[in-house]
Amino acid sequence: MKMMKLDDYEKELLQLEKDGVLDGRAPNAREQRKLQEAARNTLNKDKRINIRISARDLDALQRRANRFGMPYQTLISSVLHRYVSGEFERSPKN
């Protein structure tokens, strides 16, 4: 079977999953508290953005958010917040 060529964004998502950031399992109690805090923080949002992503990526985000019991927008906001807070960094290209 021929492998699909992935763009940089798709490669980054796969790396996040490999690093355990997006592992698809239910969160433990500590992680659940962090996710709840992130959800509360999104209620304090003061800016709105619009992004275009593939239908496949949106579907995957919605499924993952559903597993965590949160809206997919909250999951996106949480991942972005964690990224800008330095909780995970993009791996340098070789």
Q: In this structure, is residue 12 part of a structural domain?
A: no
As a whole number, mean pLDDT of residues 25-47 equals 77
Task: Return d(Cα 6, Cα 8) in angstroms, integer.
Answer: 7
Q: In this structure, is residue 11 part of a structural domain?
A: no
Q: In this structure, is residue 5 part of a structural domain?
A: no
**Model confidence band, residue 26 (pLDDT cutoffs 50, 70, 90):** confident
- Nearest-10 Cα torsion for 22, 24, 25, 28: 30
Which one-letter amino acid corresponds to residue 75?
L
- Give me the pLDDT at residue 2, please: 60
Q: In this structure, is residue 79 part of a structural domain?
A: yes
Q: In this structure, is residue 14 part of a structural domain?
A: no
Above 60 in pLDDT, residue 60?
yes
**In the chain, how many domains are there?**
1
Domain limits for position 75: 29-41+52-86
**Model pTM?**
0.50
Pick the residue with more confidence: 3 or 48?
Answer: 48
Pick the residue with more confidence: 50 or 35?
Answer: 50
3-state secondary structure of 21: coil
